[in-house]
Structure 1
Amino acid sequence: MTTLDESLVNFLKTHAPNNASAETLFPATTYTDAEKTEIGQWLTTSTHLASATEDAAKSADRLSSLNTHLSSRTTLLGAKPSVADIALYQKLAPVVSKWSAEERTGDQGYHHIVRHLDFVQNSPIFGLKLEDKVNVDLDNIIFKIKPIDAKAEKERKKKEKEAAAANASGATPTTLTENQVAGSKKGKAKAQDAVQAAGNAVASAVTGKAGSGPPEGAPTKKKEKKEKQPKPQKAAPVEKPLSPCLIDLRVGHILKATTHPNADSLFVSTIACGDPPGTDNTSEYEGQIVRTVCSGLNGLIPLEEMQNRKIVTVCNLKPVTMRGVKSCAMVLAASPRVAEGEDSHKGPVELINPPAESKAGDRVFFEGWEGEPEGVLNPKKKIWESIQPGFTTTDALQVGFDVEAVPQLSGEGSDKKTGVGMLKTAAGFCTVSTLKGAIVR
């Protein structure tokens, strides 16, 4: 299990029942090895959730993932309480106390985080000794989340069973559906005829005009069905304009790097990119959420320089399998520009250096091109291929984006855009060691 940070240790000493430690908080609860690993991951994640130095977009992404995780769970592990629940409470209570009603329970609010926090601060399971609790007004709910319709869910499962039984007996789902619909229509028609006949008989008896209506029990004409109007088509999602901000650039921390077992030119790196637990195409390594990344740097950069260092990663390219290893990000590096026809991979090559104070997962962006990145870049739209030619280095050894190198963005004539936007994090600028006027990819 991950070592507890000092602030959480002090919180437990002050507020845990009987001054219990992390090991004695829940003596009746046992954890599997997998659960212990998950607790460690959540303890790590909790330290980032309320960090003042954390990128705002990344914090919102983590909160959204946490809210989704808690939507079907009472505690982080599902039902079992753990020290990770208290760690989240300790970090988030000061944050949630400042949230507006919209942030708490609006249409896009963090309903489940608020519910979990209220559970931890009030439940005897945790028994926290708190003088100041977060005020949670159960009557002030702006947007009520619709509960699951138990009847509809039961009907859905019933149809699934009927379809499975039909397949087992040789009937296809299509014939089963047609037979069900035909039988249903016949039953409805008979019922409507009977009701209509009974209504006519009663009307004749009351008005004294027994012969004016159809004979008792006679079938009546069905009402003509109204033609179904075509459903309005959903509007296509608005496509974001081409911009460097569409590329998800983050600080990555290489925890280890090895040579690829099946390719002499490739390194395989294990990189922490600040992903929350459960993110697609990630795994866990030494208590951290990581991505596996293949890079063609073997022979260009010594393997020892790839160990335990900060770099800049591209995190929203579609994963590709390279000689049997799935690569889920890309490492940015600089190399000299070469004339057409020359070997563009001969080197030298230098990794991009983020500011020393930056942390894994920090957002990296070009000045003047701020915005939200795409979730995953669509390979068919060639966004990376269109933007990357503008990545360069300056005489001051800083990395930047030269808009003139991307015709789709620079324009023409009097409206032509010029200038280089520097690549930076909240902590400062990204640099290279020696390469000026280089291409970055």
Structure 2
Amino acid sequence: MAASLSISPSEPLLVLLYRSFPSAFPSSTTISDTPNARSALTLPPGPTIHGTNTISTYLCQDIFPGATYSDIEHAEIGQWLTLSARLASPSGDANKVADLLETLNAHLSTRSTLLGAKPSVADIALYSRLAPTVAKWTPEQRTGESGYHHTVRFIDFVQNSPVFGLKLTEDEKVLVDVDNVIFVKKPVDPKEEKDRRKRERAAATAEAEGEKVVEGEKSKKGKAKEKVPETKEAVKDAAASAKPTAPKKEKKEKAPRPPKAPAKEAVLTPSLIDLRVGHIIQAVNHPNADSLYVSTIACGDPPGKEGTSEHEGETVRTVCSGLNGLVPLSEMQNRKVVVVCNLKPVTMRGVKSSAMVLAASPRPVEGEADDGHKGPVELVTPPPDAKAGERVFFEGWEGEPEGQLNPKKKIWETLQPGFTTTGDMEVGFDGAGVPQLGGEGSAAGAEGVKGVGRLVTKNGGVCVVKSLTGAAVR
């Protein structure tokens, strides 16, 4: 702890640090109890360290004792502190400030904090100096096509996350409306970006090699013209002097290969469907479809997997759900759900969706067309202790899921009618609802599975809905 540290000059950042982390300052440091307390910090006499960068770097380990910082990270913290000061400078050039904001926004596009996932005083400094500016931004500046989406998300993350634990009143926080998103930027897929660059390099190399080949062919043709005999006599002499060629050896006929055995068809079972616990980090209205939500969901995927992106240090999937108007947007925020993770990704009104959220709704009356969810609609909720990415399966139907379901085989469409809810509002699978399984809940490879198998985690926790019984789940 900085037992004898005296800080000068006093400014809002240091007051915010003292208010949130008083134990990192000398015990005799005080903060005045005034409406504008963030601008009145009284420090004890003692050695003075001038410059906020030096102060903040010095305090970093006291504020975040659980984090360790390398020399390179300390240097990076200092650089970001300098940048945050330049952003807050009233005399700064507008064009330079715009360039700095572009740099910051691009940096935060794949990171939750300035160091990636590790918190530092630099994050707090940037928040303290940039928050008043962000508060004045228009919706277009915040979430327009050229807006600073990632910077706004960073500001909201720092002011609300328990990782930082800032002591801010609601009036001091920047108001961020998650529903007011003008343009949804397509997440950058690291694998697709790498493949694109690889293709560009290959094309450039092929073009260069092609030019060399053309030049070489031209050179060969020129030499060939020089060697063409100019008279018939020369042709005859050349033919007479040519040596007879040896007869070609006959190729041995290859023995016919035995026919390949037909691929073994997978036994039809609900375990082919990759059902997992998903954590919805955030959900917004689809910019081009009134009936859709666009959710950012952590499904336990490894970094860099195709169809995923990075969000606040987590590997996530973008998922479109036709639940707008059926489930309040507030119920789609920061909650656990069950997702189908091995359907083929589809693009829905310009946004690529890489999974499907499971929800229950009443079954249609006999003779009535089934047009999907009509309401009321309830999200399938996994057990409270389930973690994002954890597999869930139907009791009695254990097995490994397919990597990706083949749309032509219609496995999901065939098995989905068996997804239901019980009288206890538990989600389950009733094999009797799927004629292809042979009726009464039994199938090849799963003899004896009868009745309804509940949707459970490995520890036996059951997935449920709020109130619907005998409902369709899709």
Q: TM-score range by the shorter chain?
A: 0.5 to 0.7
Q: Does 1:318 align with 2:354?
A: no
Partner Cα distance (2:209, 2:254) in 1: 27
User: Please, which of 364, 368, 392 is the counterpart of residue 364 of structure 1?
Assistant: 392
Q: Distance in 2 between matches of 1:313 and 1:40?
A: 31
- 3-state SS in 1 of match to 2:347: strand
Write out per-residue CA displacement over residues 72-113 of structure 1, whole angstroms, 9 at most, x where no aligned residue.
xxxxxxxxxxxxxxxxxxxxxxxxxxxxxxxxxxxxxxxxxx
Aligned equivalents of 1:35, 1:296: Cα separation in 2: 27
CA distance 1:223–1:369, shift in 2 (3 Å): same
Q: Which amino acid aligns with 1:356?
A: P
Residue 453 (structure 2) pairs with residue 425 (structure 1): no
SS at match of 2:331: helix
Residue 379 of structure 1 is aligned with which of 407, 411, 414? 407
Choose from 407, 412, 433 the match for 1:405: 433
**SS of the residue 1:253 aligns to:** strand
Q: Is the 8 A contact 2:429 2:452 kept in 1?
A: yes
Q: What are the residue-to-residue correspondences of 1:252-271 with 2, within 5 Å?
A: 252-271=278-297
In structure 2, what residue type is equivalent to 1:24?
A: D
Distance 2:108 2:249 in 1: 62
Q: In structure 1, the residue corresponding to 2:71 is in which secondary structure?
A: coil
Deviations 1:324-364 (A, max 9, x none): 11111000000011213266532000000100000100001
**8 Å Cα contact 1:354-1:431 kept in structure 2:** yes
The one-letter amino acid paired with 1:23 is S
Aligned residues: 266
Relative distance call for 1:38 and 1:356 in structure 2 (3 A) is closer
**2:138 corresponds to which residue?**
none
* Residues 403 and 298 of structure 1: CA distance in aligned 2, closer, same or farther (over 3 Å): same
SS of 1:429's equivalent in the other structure is coil
Letter in 1 for 2:252: K
The 8 Å contact of residues 276 and 340 in structure 2, kept in 1 or not, is answered as yes
* Equivalent position SS for 1:313: strand
SS at match of 1:278: coil
Distance 2:301 2:378 in 1: 25
- Which amino acid in the other structure matches residue 434 of structure 1? S
Indicate conservation of the 8 Å contact 1:321/1:327, yes or no: yes
1:292 to 304, 318, 333: 318
CA-to-partner distance for each residue in 1:240-284, whole Å, 9 max, x for gaps? 111100000000000000011111111110000000011111111
Structure 1 residue aligned with 2:268: 242
The answer as to whether partners of 2:276 and 2:389 remain within 8 angstroms in 1 is yes
- Cα pair distance change 1:352/1:169, threshold 3 Å: farther
How far 1:167 sits from its partner (Å)? 7.8
- Is the contact between residue 111 and residue 313 of structure 2 (CA under 8 Å) also seen in structure 1? yes
Note the C-alpha offset of 1:225: 1.9
- Tell me which of 70, 86, 97 is aligned to 1:23: 70
Cα shift readout 1:193-248 (whole Å, capped 9, x = no counterpart): xxxxxxxxxxxxxxxxxxxxxxxx87544432212445556545422111100000
Query: Per the alignment, do residues 220 and 259 of structure 1 end up closer, same or farther by CA in structure 2, a change over 3 Å counting?
Result: closer
Q: 2: distance between equivalents of 1:429 and 1:253?
A: 17
* Higher normalized contact order (CA 8 Å, seq sep 6+, divided by chain length): 1
Q: Report sequence identity in percent.
A: 61
Deviations 1:90-137 (A, max 9, x none): xxxxxxxxxxxxxxxxxxxxxxxxxxxxxxxxxxxxxxxxxxxxxxxx
Tell me the C-alpha RMSD between the 2 structures. 4.0
Looking at structure 1, the residues matched to 295 and 438 of structure 2 have their Cα atoms a distance apart, in angstroms, of 36
**In the TM superposition, what is the alpha-carbon distance from 1:407 to its structure 2 partner?**
1.1
Contact 2:117 2:312 in 1 (8 A): no
The whole-number CA distance in structure 1 between the counterparts of 2:337 and 2:115 is: 22
Opposite residue 371 of structure 1, the aligned amino acid is G
* In 1, Cα distance between equivalents of 2:345 and 2:115: 23
Structure 2: runs of 5 or more not aligned: 1-66, 80-105, 119-204, 218-242
Check conservation: 1:41, 1:287, Cα contact below 8 A: no
TM-score (norm 1): 0.52
Q: Which amino acid aligns with 2:458?
A: A
Q: Quick one: distance in 1 between partners of 2:343 and 2:428? A: 20
Larger radius of gyration: 2
Change (3 A) 1:364 1:165: same
Distance 2:400 2:115 in 1: 26
